[in-house]
Structure formats: structure tokens, C-alpha cells
Amino acid sequence: MTPLRSASEPPPSPDTARASQTKKRTRIQAEKEARILDGALEVFSRYGYRGATVDQIAAAAGMSKPNLLYYFRRKHDIYLAVLRRTLAMWLQPFEEIDAAGDPAEELSKYIAKKLEFSRTNPQESRLFASEIIQGAPQIQGVLGGELRALVERKASVLKTWAAAGKIIDVDPCHLIFMIWATTQHYADFASQIEAILPDRSKDDVIDEAYGPLTSVLLRGLLPR
């Protein structure tokens, strides 16, 4: 199981692939690597790791396969790079929950941010979901380390709020899961939603979702 290195750490071994070089990047490197990550996101989010092919990714990135492999020597390296980028985006709103803020406002802001993420980054959401459904083989470490610590920290914030009578007193982890599940659903299960509500655009559905989500979750969470 290859661990996820942060982009700033040096590569562990000699590696001619350009994407792993820590020294200065050329203009072309930066541009091509960005295109590759975008193409890879598209393909991996649709087919999962094993279902995606390097040829597909190269085509999506608008370059030849050998050219792509000049920047990322292995399919696996591309996957780790997109996954790392995605994980960072996924985590950010969660970190921003402010213990000092008003519970109702903080939670409704968090719900709004997660819903907005489902609108603007559905592929990232699906890539993440796909990795987890498949047992999170590549990011187990991060989930059990960084994410777990973060959840514990935020859970204790929710506990404080509960102790102060500001929200109801139930296991905060499950509250967090509820928010994750309901908001990510609009990205991960978009094709199901589209089939069920064919007359409404994806954007409209997410606009509509905001009301029911906040009203049910906040009504359910806040004391009367």
C-alpha cells in the first residue's frame, strides 16, 4: 500500500518522471501536469481505479500515452496525485467549522459548503466515494490518521455545544455522517436523481435541496 506523500515532500527514490521532481518546474510541466490531473479526474471518477485506462486518461488530457507517462511514470502515481488533490479539497470546509461560532450558523454554513462542493466538484466527490466504496485501499492511512483526528476534534466541538444545550445530545460522529451523506448524495448519486427528476436541471435540484436539508437537519439538531 503506497502511502500518500504530500506534494512538498521529496520523492523517496530516484525517479525520472517529471511530476515527482521537487526542484523547479518548467512552464510546460505545470501546464501538462494540470491537464493530466483534470483528465485523470474525469476518467477515474467515472470508472474507478481499475476500470480506468491510461489511454483514456491520455485522451482526456489531450496528449499521447508516452507523453503522459513522461510526467507520471505509473498509472498508480496519477491516481495518487488526483486523490491527494481531491482529499485536500474535501477536507477544507470541515476544518473551517468554528468552535467559537454560533452552532446553528456554523452547521448551516457547513451544509451549504458541502452542497456547493457537490455542485461545483461532482467528479471529485465521486472519485472520493469510489475510492471508499472499493475499501479505500489507497487512503486508509489518511482516513485513519488525519481524518480521524480531525473528526475527533470536531466531534468534541459538537459535544461542547450539546453540553451547553445548544444542540441535541446524540453521538456527534453520527451527526457528522448525516451531513456528509445527505450533501454528497447530490454529487455521488446525481445520475439516479436525474432519472427520478428528469425535468429539473442538476443546478436546480441542488438549489431546491438546500431548503429541505437545512430545515430538517437544523430542526432535528437544535433544541426547541
Partner DNA sequence: CACGAAGTTGACCAGATGGTCAACATTTTT
Partner DNA sequence: AAAAATGTTGACCATCTGGTCAACTTCGTG
Say if residues 25 and 34 touch (Cβ distance below 8 Å). Answer: no
Taken in order 161, 165, 166, 168, the sign of the CA dihedral is positive
CA–CA separation, 101 vs 81, rounded Å?
Answer: 34
Binding mask 54-93 for DNA (x = CB under 7 A): xx-------xxxxx-xx--xxxx-----------------
> Which span (25-33, 144-152, 197-205, 212-220) binds DNA, by CB under 7 A?
25-33
Q: Could you tell me which of 133, 17, 168 has the C-alpha nearest to residue 81?
A: 17
Catalog residues that contact a copy of itself under the rule CB under 8 A: 45-51, 126, 129-130, 132-136, 140, 143-144, 147-148, 151, 168, 170-171, 173-175, 177-178, 180-182, 184-186, 188-189, 191-193, 195-198, 208-209, 211-213, 215-221, 224
Determine how many CB atoms are found less than 10 A away from the CB of residue 131. Answer: 23
- Segment interacting with DNA, rule: CB under 7 A, options 28-36, 140-148, 154-162, 212-220: 28-36
- CB nearer DNA, residue 19 or residue 209: 19
If the CB atoms of residues 17 and 222 are measured against a copy of itself, the closer one turns out to be 222
> What whole-number distance in Å separates Cα of residue 119 and Cα of residue 114?
9
Residue 137: how many CB atoms within 10 A of its CB? 11
Rounded to the nearest whole angstrom, what is the least distance from the CB of residue 57 to a copy of itself in the complex?
14
Q: Considering the rule CB under 7 A, would residue 205 count as an interface residue with DNA?
A: no
CA distance 7 to 144: 20
Contact 95, 150 (CB under 8 A): yes
Cβ at position 49, least distance to DNA in Å: 9
- Vertex 202: Cα angle to 180 and 35 (nearest 5): 80
Q: How far is the CB of 59 from a copy of itself (least distance, A)?
A: 16
Residues engaged in binding DNA (CB under 7 A): 18, 26-29, 32, 52-55, 63-67, 69-70, 73-76
